[in-house]
């Protein structure tokens, strides 16, 4: 085979460097966690830290290492244990039982990661065809998704413990001052283009780029704060069925919800649980860990609505992809500043949209097993946009589509309002 | 108040006549059913026939009879027993327990219906303001929806009985000949108008009329037949996860699905349960009682996809609203004829679309309690279009949006394919 | 075959008469119930009235009618539909789905009963061998058990209905005066004989008669009243875990129990639901519809305990089998009179004992399918003794062992205390 | 207070030595287990090793350390986290969530144990009244129970892992030769004494000693082997409902049972999972990890029955308390030798009896919170006798009553047959 399909050396170097950087960051994120911490699964949706560390490694081992002629799998059972949901690849360990595995140990998984890293290093050194390089790229972005999941999941694990332990010590921050009232930014709408274009990386679910007709609308310049959420609570927001979708109201009643996840009313004072442990609520910061049902009910209460994902993407045109993302290492949303125009579109909290997670017209899933990456989940989920304080900076894009079921609230998810015009 | 807002006498006469006709039809549909039959609830989604007869009456009694100055409710507990889901109106009997009520008896409910009919007759005789007339209209269309539900639900009730009893005796039909292969009709798409317009009745969820941009596509000229579904089964359609949405595959495995609801393989021969009892499958007739998950998997297997609700509505422009609907009293889908152009758009089977059930831009629910009619269900359901063999003829419209969860299959639901162009 | 094994003609006549009387009584008990009433199953433990009427018929049809040379089963599916739990006989309809059958109708079951009665009449006329006569006898006693179950079950069915309808109109009774305080009757114990003896009918679980050593004890002269139960409630009996078995406390918390089944506190007044509908509690009448867990907790609270079934049987020696049983048609426990000695041992309420339901030493189940009648249930149930207000008079015996799981309370079950000496 | 109630110094020394020995053994048992291993809870019945280590410590800290004037609890939340079921002591962490706690870490629990050991050392040094010494004694026996539970539970934890890891390396043993056929040893029965007597330690549930009348019976000289169980399987033992209690048959069907827990048929060969990992079955060794339901069904299949706990205790009179117990460190049952007379009564496997776990006549639970130790569990469980290969040698007695629900099989439980005479 000639090298005609291979990617240039400079790109190889860049890819190898990015591979290593992402792999290292995962290890840094896991470092504060003991073997016991890394083993717990607090609910079926949550995976243990050590599982995330192994599964992201399995992705490279399964889809890339076999391209090395002499590659020997690290362990005959890891294909079974660390396959997440790839039916094409074979059977796998049941998701709700990921927390029942004391072995392999945390240190064996460290060894596993090194073993695969070494193989990947060899693979990249030998030069890569374009499709192989694309799979490496996909694996890198896949691992970045799991970096956010490690933080989301361990937050839930620690919260489940009555001791309410912390993941890290964050520097104390002074309470923020109340931000200016929400302003709605007018948007003329029209026939606009939606979806990924260009040569940069994007997931298959962001394509193809296509046209959508949007009616005139307005979008809030910032996300909803805890202060505003306290007003919703005080106005009996969680007790008024007329504010809620029918499924949402059932959810509120079954779970006895009276406030967002990680909030507690202790001796008359609202406390919030963060990755740095519990502390008093900061009323100026964005509300976080609300479900779609809560976001939707809040919007109805506020006389507004949630934006569609198309409105969000359109409104974000021209805004730089920057904000309070994982690289700032705060791991909690921070108050919006007071500049004018849309603020906090990226980082802080994922923003629920009113759009169901569906394929774009002409959508084609990736070929082979990675075709299961996104497409098969396009059912009964809602799209979120913009990334959060646990999203790696170079992972998010304007066209990026995150998705969760309407009842989920353990992601760093918040609310930006929109309105008809 | 002057009579300036009141509707003209001719309209009053027409309304009274339609009220009576719809009320009579409900009773005719219930007539073949014994008191025992009318009492059973075979699953939480199903309601007993006598409940449907009472609930449709409750709708008029609750929203209209109080406009009569001296109206006395028929029974102090019926407001509780027969409220379906109107939080605004008050508490109600739990849905999964509707089949635990032997009282009121079937004959008491007949009395209840007459009592309310008499009051409604008086109300209409006295003249109606426009908003009141609209509520009567809504009540009529509401009862028509329950006419279809009575048939869907009793089919499930009878099927649940190992005796497999029948609802009625239908004349024997000769097996149909195989229809011509599906042809795809090209549609140029573009910026089209979607939703209800004009002065006729429509539910709030069909408004407002708005523009949607549609890419070029093609739509099948007829729905999928049992013959084609047998091919899907023979090709291991129910055993191949790559054909299914992730939630759909879980559903198939949990329920051990191997064929559509109401199909049985008995001594090597496929039998189908109909409202006239079990009989051999007629391979030329439209497949019916498939879930969205099944419809979606079939489409993927066929190398096609489901249409969006916008594509369906657009493709149906210019087609007359006629077909094999409830008035033909067959109560089972019949094979499409062989004329050219789209066939069977109305009647036979509801057609699953790939569209999630969401509000149209600028949607406003009806005011008051009837605002709960549609809007609060706009979550985690899929839209179906076109009506079925159990839908009253004057009930369905091109813009009519039916909706069910993706796993539901006890509606008369089938599949029309579409394709990208 | 000679007639040497056959039973005498006089016994035949008696058997035929008793057969008919029992069959008639079942029909009289069902008569107040509409077709809808007879179809409902309010929980898995409850069976519809029409099922009881059919199942008792099935017992004769299955175990006896085939002895008639030319007997044709009434319906090919009734063996499946009305087998309760006889694995030996074949598969059967799932118990929790008995309330999903509108067909066969109530009137078809009346026809079924007549059909089998006629066959049984022919069978008995032709003369019976002893083993066949014993099976008829067993079928008669089996039907008597179901007479009580019909009343227990329909009470639960009617209670489940928010309308709280009644089964019959009972004559109003004046509230009873408070009975004298409980007296404990001393019993010396010793090595006593337990179990059935003699030639009369008894179930297999009452045999063999055997010796049991009983320590000296004392037994209450009457059962616990509602007044005494109100004291238990007032003393936080349902809130104090130290009074309860561990499983009982879990049951109390899961079910949020604060009083016996069928009690309601309405506007500060205790109301009780009876087969004649709701009425004020009569504090002098025996408490009824308490579970073993409740009975045991009450006894602990009272500084006493429940008797073993051996103590009960021993203490009842010499007491005539009479009391407030089904033949008095009150269908609710009545206050004990004030005579001295043990009162109310038979009738009113079944009395929970502290004995687990286990085989007597040397127990042999009946042979053939009826061996499944009792033995296979000897696990995780408690024995009750003495019959209740819904038990046929000629059905109960001193050695009769009834049994229910510790959490069950829909039987007419009450409490008699005992104490160590 | 004079020292008149205090225990003599020699007893103090002995108590202190035994305290230390038992505490040390717990730590030795946990030593092979990693922090991850010690954190897992594989089902609600199982507790993590670190929980056992903490809970046994909590027992001393809660019931004894407060007798030291200046004792400060180790951690304010450990009372909540490590209370098992003592309602009197206060609220506690939910049992099924014990595996969700990564903190306190395994090493913190080591520190906790040392902290309490030091306090206990001081307490014992200062001299103890009799009641306090009895509580220390109870705490020691309590910890011995948990030593067995640690082994039972970790076996289930490791089995749940598809890697099937081992707890320890046991020396390879050569397969045993088939033992001689079971012989039944005749027992005349009569009025015998049952229960604890004398001054040695016993749990409250072994008292009071009382008389029981036993009919003549026979008891097997050894327990049932794997070979005999294979015969049961081969004779369709798991497919024949007539062999099973009704609840047992439901259990078999719900769990799809076809063999004992920890057995697997791999490539046609029966494999058994032991604490030393999987290996071929040794057909001569006692069958282990069968439920009461299985034991009862096997006995019925064998034409025998299980002994009552009274028969067992009576038959064991005069037999020395010795056998294959924890001190031999095999941690798996071994074949019975071929000596005559009853063999293997102690050790190897706990032997299911047909006796429900009920209070002895005149039973009084211990006073105070430890009254919850046994009495409140006397419901819906079966008694087992004789100890097993994981029971500490000086923990078991002839009168010792172990108990588990009929469906439990993760204890080292086996079968000894009995028969009527």
Residue range C82-140, pLDDT digits in tens = 999 999 999 999 999 999 999 999 999 999 999 999 999 999 999 999 999 999 999 99
pLDDT greater than 60 at residue A349: yes
pLDDT greater than 70 at residue C2: no
Q: Which of C93, C106, C161 sits opposite B101 (nearest CB)?
A: C161
Residue C37 C-alpha, separation from nearest chain B C-alpha, in angstroms: 5
Question: B-side interface with A, Cβ within 8 Å?
Answer: 85, 87-88, 191, 210-215, 217, 241-242, 244-249, 354-356, 358-359, 361-362, 371-372, 376-380, 406, 420
pLDDT one-digit tens code per residue, D132-143: 999 999 999 999
Of the pLDDT bands very low, low, confident and very high (cuts 50, 70, 90), residue B201 is: very high
Contact C146, C56 (CB under 8 A): yes
> Smallest Cα–Cα separation from B100: which of C165, C279, C95?
C165
Output the pLDDT for position B4.
56
Output the pLDDT for position A4.
56
Contact B17, B138 (CB under 8 A): no
> Smallest Cα–Cα separation from A348: which of A178, A224, A172, A169?
A224
Q: Over the Cα atoms of chain B, what is R_g? A: 22
**Among chain C residues, CA nearest to B166:** C103
- Alpha-carbon gap, residue B55 to B61, rounded angstroms: 9
Q: Are strands B413-414 and B350-356 parallel, antiparallel or unpaired?
A: parallel
Residues of C in contact with D191 (CB under 8 A): 191, 213
Rounded to the nearest integer, the mean pLDDT of chain A is: 95
Output the pLDDT for position A154.
98
- Alpha-carbon gap, residue D218 to D421, rounded angstroms: 7
As a whole number, mean pLDDT of residues B330-349 equals 89
Residue with tokens 């037949």: B225
As a whole number, mean pLDDT of residues C150-173 equals 94
Output the pLDDT for position C4.
57
> Do D and C make contact, counting contact as 3+ CB pairs within 8 angstroms?
yes
pLDDT greater than 70 at residue D1: no
Q: Are B358 and A354 an interchain contact pair (Cβ–Cβ within 8 Å)?
A: yes
For the entire predicted model, the pTM comes to 0.96
CA angle B314, B316, B317 (to 5 degrees): 70
As a whole number, mean pLDDT of residues B137-150 equals 98
Question: C-side interface with B, Cβ within 8 Å?
Answer: 34-40, 42, 77, 80-81, 93, 97, 99-106, 157-158, 160-163, 165
Rounded to the nearest integer, the mean pLDDT of chain C is: 95
Least confident of B122-131, C164-173, D30-39: C164-173
Q: End-to-end CA distance of chain A, in Å?
A: 59
D9-30 and D49-63 helices, crossing angle to 10° = 160
CA angle D360, D366, D372 (to 5 degrees): 90
Of the pLDDT bands very low, low, confident and very high (cuts 50, 70, 90), residue D366 is: confident
Residues of C in contact with B105 (CB under 8 A): 34, 36
- Show the DSSP H helices in D126-224 as ranges: 130-160
Q: Which of D87, D215, D361 sits opposite C361 (nearest CB)?
A: D215
Q: Which of A81, A102, A165 sits opposite D162 (nearest CB)?
A: A81
Longest dimension (CA), chain C: 72
Residue B36 C-alpha, separation from nearest chain C C-alpha, in angstroms: 5
Q: Are B161 and C36 an interchain contact pair (Cβ–Cβ within 8 Å)?
A: no
Q: Are B362 and A215 an interchain contact pair (Cβ–Cβ within 8 Å)?
A: yes
Q: Are A162 and D36 an interchain contact pair (Cβ–Cβ within 8 Å)?
A: no
Residue with tokens 């509602």: C226
Of the pLDDT bands very low, low, confident and very high (cuts 50, 70, 90), residue D4 is: low
Residues of C in contact with B34 (CB under 8 A): 35, 102, 105
- Show the DSSP H helices in A257-371 as ranges: 292-301, 309-315
Chains that touch D (3 or more CB pairs under 8 A): A, C
Rounded to the nearest integer, the mean pLDDT of chain D is: 95
Q: Are D103 and A163 an interchain contact pair (Cβ–Cβ within 8 Å)?
A: yes
Output the pLDDT for position C234.
98
Q: How many CB atoms lie within 10 A of CB B121?
A: 13
Q: How many CB atoms lie within 10 A of CB D90?
A: 11
Output the pLDDT for position D2.
45
**Among chain C residues, CA nearest to D381:** C380
- Which three-class secondary structure state does DSSP give residue D37? helix
Least confident of C241-245, C368-372, D270-274: C368-372
* Comparison of pLDDT for B59 and C178, the residue scoring more: B59
pLDDT greater than 90 at residue C341: no
Residue with tokens 């125009």: A341
**If you write DSSP's letter for every residue of A84-149 in order, what string do you get?**
-S-TTT-----GGGGGG---S-HHHHHHHHHHHHHHHHHHHHT--BHHHHHHHHHHHHHHHHHHHH
Please tell me whether the interface predicted TM-score (ipTM) of this complex is above 0.90: yes
Whether the upstream peptide bond of residue C115 has omega within 30° of 0, thus cis, is: no
Q: Are A379 and B248 an interchain contact pair (Cβ–Cβ within 8 Å)?
A: yes
pLDDT greater than 90 at residue C190: yes
pLDDT one-digit tens code per residue, C211-230: 999 999 999 999 999 999 99
As a whole number, mean pLDDT of residues D84-94 equals 93
How many alpha carbons lie under 13 Å from residue C386 in its C-beta half-sphere?
37
pLDDT greater than 60 at residue B381: yes
pLDDT greater than 60 at residue C3: no
Q: How many CB atoms lie within 10 A of CB B385?
A: 26
pLDDT one-digit tens code per residue, C54-83: 999 999 999 999 999 999 999 999 999 999
pLDDT greater than 70 at residue B2: no
pLDDT one-digit tens code per residue, A140-158: 999 999 999 999 999 999 9
Q: Are D213 and C215 an interchain contact pair (Cβ–Cβ within 8 Å)?
A: no
Output the pLDDT for position B338.
74
pLDDT one-digit tens code per residue, D157-213: 999 999 999 999 987 777 777 889 999 999 999 999 999 999 899 999 999 999 999
């Amino acid at each position: 085979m000639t090298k005609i399909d291979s990617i240039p050396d400079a790109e190889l170097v860049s890819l190898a460097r990015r591979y290593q950087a992402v792999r290292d960051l995962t290890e840094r994120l896991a470092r504060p966690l003991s073997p016991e911490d890394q083993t717990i699964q607090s609910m079926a949706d949550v995976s243990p830290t050590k599982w995330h560390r192994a599964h992201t490694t399995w992705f490279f081992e399964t889809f890339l290492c076999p391209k090395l002629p002499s590659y020997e799998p690290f362990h005959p059972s890891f294909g079974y244990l660390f396959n997440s949901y790839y039916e094409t690849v074979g059977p796998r360990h049941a998701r709700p039982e990921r927390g029942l595995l004391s072995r392999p140990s945390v240190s064996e998984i460290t060894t596993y990661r090194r073993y695969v890293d070494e193989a990947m290093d060899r693979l990249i050194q030998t030069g890569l065809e374009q499709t192989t390089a694309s799979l490496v790229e996909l694996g890198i972005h896949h691992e970045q998704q799991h970096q956010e999941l490690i933080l989301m999941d361990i937050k839930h694990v620690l919260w489940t413990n009555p001791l309410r332990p912390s993941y890290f010590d964050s520097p104390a921050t002074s309470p923020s001052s109340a931000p200016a009232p929400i302003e709605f930014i007018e948007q003329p709408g029209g026939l606009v283009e939606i979806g990924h274009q260009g040569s940069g990386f994007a997931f298959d679910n962001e394509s193809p780029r296509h046209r959508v007709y949007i009616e005139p609308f307005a979008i809030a310049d910032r996300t909803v704060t805890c202060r505003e959420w306290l007003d919703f609570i005080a106005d009996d927001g969680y007790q008024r069925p007329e504010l809620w979708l029918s499924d949402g109201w059932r959810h509120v009643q079954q779970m006895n919800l009276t406030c967002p996840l990680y909030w507690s009313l202790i001796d008359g004072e609202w406390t919030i649980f963060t990755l740095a442990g519990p502390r008093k609520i900061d009323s100026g910061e964005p509300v976080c860990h609300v479900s779609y049902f809560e976001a939707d009910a809040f919007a109805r209460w506020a006389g507004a609505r949630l934006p569609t994902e198309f409105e969000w993407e359109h409104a974000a045109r021209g805004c730089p992809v920057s904000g309070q993302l994982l690289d700032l290492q705060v791991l909690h949303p921070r108050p919006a500043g007071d500049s004018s125009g849309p603020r906090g579109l990226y980082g802080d909290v994922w923003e629920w949209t009113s759009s169901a997670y569906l394929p774009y017209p002409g959508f084609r899933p990736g070929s082979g097993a990675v075709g299961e990456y996104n497409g098969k989940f396009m059912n009964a989920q809602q799209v979120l946009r913009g990334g959060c304080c646990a999203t790696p900076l170079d992972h998010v894009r304007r066209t990026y589509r995150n998705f969760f079921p309407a009842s989920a609230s353990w992601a760093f998810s918040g609310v930006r309002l929109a309105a008809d015009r």
